[in-house]
Amino acid sequence: MSRARTNTRRAVAVVAATAVALSVAACTGSASTSSTAKSGDTIQVWVLQDQLDVVQKAAVARFNNTSAVKVTLTEVASDGYPDKVRTAMGSNKAPDIFFNWGGGSIRDYVDAKMLLPLDDAAKTNPGIGKAYLPSIFDAGKINNVQYGIPLRGTQPVVLFTNKKVFADNGLVPPKTWDDVTALIPALTAKGVIPFAVAGAGTASWTELMWLEYLLDRNAGPKVFADIAAGNWKGWSDPGVLKAAQTVKQLVDQGAFGKNFGSVNYGAGGTSTLVSQGKAAMQLMGTWEYAVQLAESPDFAKTDLGYVAFPSMPGGKGDPANVVGNPTNYFSVNAKTKNPEAAIAFLNALSTPEYAADLVAHGEVPTTIEAANVLDKSPDPAFAKFQFKLVSDAPAFQLSWDQALTPNRANPLITEIGKLFNGQDTPEQFVAAVSAIK
């Protein structure tokens, strides 16, 4: 992922519209299952405007070569994209299919019955229902109903390392939490920050990843899944407090250094701390690889390492679980006049040609058969690491700032920042988050 796409991902999470107050009186019906499509009909597909558009354009061209109903692709600028979708979905110019992040980005549309349930389509179209890695496909569900079909590559959160720092100090990256607790004093004694983390300004989203993994490893994925489904009382689960207490212990032990509250993410910030050997590790989404490749290409090619998040002793969560961004999704407008053509187009996104196009542009596709084309990736080793991590994952938790609607996600990030900066105790953190409405 380029740095531009990294910034877009964050901006969308922050800028995403407040609760979607849509006028839905005329938009609550489900699409007809009977086929009235004829030559000359079109379906409108909205996609985020970025460098991967070329992959979607190629898919559209292949589809239009054989389909009577043609796809018209509209590239929508990323700035304010959620607002543009919200406005369009409340009008008579709504797209038939649109790009989204799953979770909180579409929950309000689901509640308003504006999206087409895709469970039946998944059962009758193997290219939809059986093509994708289960953990990725399941992340496209809302209330256990399928509303999103995987569209692009996967972006799990992993622990990036500076291999030279570890080699020079006779250390190895952590596999267990005992390893983490041993590494902290060993690295700080050498003047190296164990984990680079950004806490300046709005950078608290980088701290979010620690809470996500700590909760998963301690309590398993169900606690947050229940929260995302509307059971806000889930924040009172003992696993949440334990995760917050672990954060405080890490901060007190110097795991993040002394000045992380003034550090930003990316070039000149956490990424530079790792590439220059001032920090040994950074917990970050796999887009970090592209950030390092752009900022420090020699380091990225020789000394940038990556491992899965460590296991926790006695935790309920499977050590193979991952958090991050399973992928981006396409969802279908319930009022589309050509539902069968829309489903056929979604079915075409699981083809080997589409996967090969994604790989050629540095993405790691989410189809089961994608492993067959990863050798053609710009970095096959990194691509295979990601694919195995995700394919082995029993659960893939969507980032909280995207799984939740913005009116809850944004205050949550604020409270996480206060926990890391020592403004709140773990107990105060739990109380504050539980009080978010």
Distance, in Å, from the CA atom of 309 to the CA atom of 320, rounded to the nearest integer, reads: 9
Residue 89 domain-assigned (yes or no): yes
Q: Considering only CA atoms, which of 106, 102, 97 is closest in space to residue 73?
A: 97
Residue 343: alpha-carbon gap to chain centroid: 24
- Give 39's DSSP letter: T
Whether residue 230 sits in one domain with residue 318: yes
Whether residue 372 sits in one domain with residue 263: no
Whether residue 336 sits in one domain with residue 312: no
Domain that holds residue 165: 155-323+405-434
Distance, in Å, from the CA atom of 211 to the CA atom of 243, rounded to the nearest integer, reads: 6
Distance, in Å, from the CA atom of 373 to the CA atom of 375, rounded to the nearest integer, reads: 5
Residue 13 domain-assigned (yes or no): no
Whether residue 317 sits in one domain with residue 276: yes
pLDDT at 107: 92
pLDDT at 34: 38
The pTM of this model reads: 0.86
3-class SS string, 190-251: CCCEEEECCCCCCCCHHHHHHHHHHHHHHHCCHHHHHHHCCCHHHHHCHHHHHHHHHHHHHH
The CA dihedral of 90, 92, 98, 100, to the nearest 10 degrees, is -10
Residue 413 domain-assigned (yes or no): yes
Whether residue 50 sits in one domain with residue 116: yes
Whether residue 254 sits in one domain with residue 123: no
Whether residue 146 sits in one domain with residue 25: yes
User: Residue 9 class from Cβ within 10 Å (0-12 exposed, 13-18 middle, 19+ buried)?
Assistant: buried
Quick: pLDDT tens for 344-401. Answer: 999 999 999 999 999 998 899 999 999 999 999 989 999 999 999 999 999 999 999 9
pLDDT at 28: 32
Domain count, the chain: 2
Task: Split the chain (437 residues) into runs of 10 and give each run's mean pLDDT.
Answer: 37 33 34 46 93 91 96 91 93 95 92 96 91 92 94 96 98 97 97 96 91 97 91 94 98 96 93 98 95 93 96 93 95 96 95 93 93 92 96 94 90 96 97 95
Whether residue 336 sits in one domain with residue 261: no
Quick: pLDDT tens for 297-337. Answer: 999 999 999 999 999 999 999 999 999 999 999 999 999 99
Whether residue 372 sits in one domain with residue 266: no
Whether residue 272 sits in one domain with residue 177: yes
- For residue 353, give the CATH number of its domain: 3.40.190.10
Whether residue 315 sits in one domain with residue 303: yes
Residue 6 domain-assigned (yes or no): no
pLDDT at 10: 41
